[in-house]
Every structure is written in C-alpha cells, then in structure tokens.
Amino acid sequence: MTQEPETVAVVGGTGDQGFGLALRWAKAGRHVLIGSRVRARAEEAAAKVKAAVGNSARVEGSENADVVARATLVVLSVPFEAQIATLKAVRTAWRPGQILVDLTVPLEASFGGSPTRVLKVWAGSAAEQAAQHVPENISVVGAFHNIGAHALQEIQHEVECDVIVCGDNAEARGRVRPWVEAIPGCRYVDGGKLENARIVESLTALLIGINRRYKVPGAGLRITGLPH
C-alpha cells in the first residue's frame, strides 16, 4: 500500500507549470505550499489559487527553502537553466524521507534555441542532474513532464494525459501515484528507473512540436495496452 504524503511544496509554483499543479492539487483538497524566491510572489500565487478554487483551499505561499522544509513531497518547477541554482539555494532545508519530484525539461529554448529540441545533459537527464544536487537520503523521481501548463490551468476540464513516473526507488515512485490520480484525467504509469527520464523529458519537445503543427494548446500522451 502506498502512503499518501500530506503536504506538497511546489518550488517555482509562481510559474505556469507549477501554478497549474498547485491549482489542481488545491482543487482536490490537498495541502499545497507554493514556493518562490520572493515570498510576496508566492503569497500572491496562493491568493490566486484561492480565488480560482475557493477560499477553503489549503494553500499557502512562502520562500522556496521554507516550503521545502515543511513538505513531504517537493516538486521542482523551474526552468532548466535555474535548476541547479535553485537546488543549491534550498540544499539545507531537506529532511530524510522527503521526495523530490523533478519535472524539468531541458529544452534548447533555455539558452535561446528551439523549444522543440532537447539539450544533451551531462548527467543524462534533468532528473538525474537534480539527483546530484540533493542530499543522498532524498529520493528523486521524474514526473509531470508531458502535461502542459495550459491543460493544468483549465481546471474545469480533465487533463488527457498519462504521467510517466521514473525513479530508482520504487516506493518513492508509488508515493507520487496519489498526486497523479488527484488530477482528473491523469493516469499513473510506472516508468521504471530514473534514467528513463531521458526518454520522458524528450517526449515533451515532441509534444510542443505537435502543438504547433496542429495549432492546439495541449497535446498529451496515452500508453495503451496496460491493465485497468
């Protein structure tokens, strides 16, 4: 049986993707901490969540290190070029048993190039790079790469997308499952070891290209043939 973490922190939750996740989890009644480099920005985002889903939403905003210290599950939602600096800035806030969920997509756009091309990361993937910048007792999982911010923020609609969850610790992958299933339309898919994040991250670049060609805001993906 998987244990459901009580509180999620979304580092960079003031941005498009993190804010979308915060909205969805707050709507599902979860306790959400929005993190920012600037406390006031996080508080403003938390107020926007409440305005969208109702005043009873359990959402707060604070500085990144503070939300990391208070959560059981920490989602890192910053641009690739900010990933290492952000992890260094919160390095002393971690506690044993926490899980880092990294959704960073290393796009060429981070350095002025194309959003439909993936950068080659020395560590193998952005998720593996993240693992090099947290204490050893923190499990790192890659997830939520293939859902677009637009789909997340349209809270009146379901998100039509599977969420492939990769990580070397099977228990940590399982602990992310309830957070996937809290988002209507999302299905958890066990993606196996963390190095598979290399594949999952690159699929986002493909989806961005598909969005462009089909002139749609949020193409997603489904894995077929799995048991129900």
Ligand X SMILES: NC(=O)c1ccc[n+]([C@@H]2O[C@H](COP(=O)([O-])OP(=O)(O)OC[C@H]3O[C@@H](n4cnc5c(N)ncnc54)[C@H](OP(=O)(O)O)[C@@H]3O)[C@@H](O)[C@H]2O)c1
Binding site for ligand X (CB under 6 A): 12, 14-18, 36-38, 41, 77-80, 82, 85-86, 103-105, 145, 148-149, 204
Question: Based on CB atoms, which residue is closest to ligand X, 30 or 63?
Answer: 63
CA 2 to chain centre: 19
**Closer to ligand X at the Cβ: 29 or 42?**
42
- Write down the least CB distance from residue 208 to ligand X, Å: 8
Q: Yes or no: say if 158 and 145 are a contact pair by the CB < 8 Å rule.
A: no
In the complex, residue closest to ligand X by CB: 15
Residues whose CB falls within 8 Å of the CB of residue 204, separated by 6 or more in sequence, listed in order: 105, 107, 145, 146
Minimum CB separation from ligand X for residue 30, in Å?
Answer: 19
Minimum distance between the CB of residue 1 and ligand X, rounded to whole angstroms? Answer: 30
For residue 200, what are its two tokens? 């999952």
Nearer to ligand X, 7 or 110 (CB): 110
Q: Give least dist CB 14 to ligand X, A.
A: 4
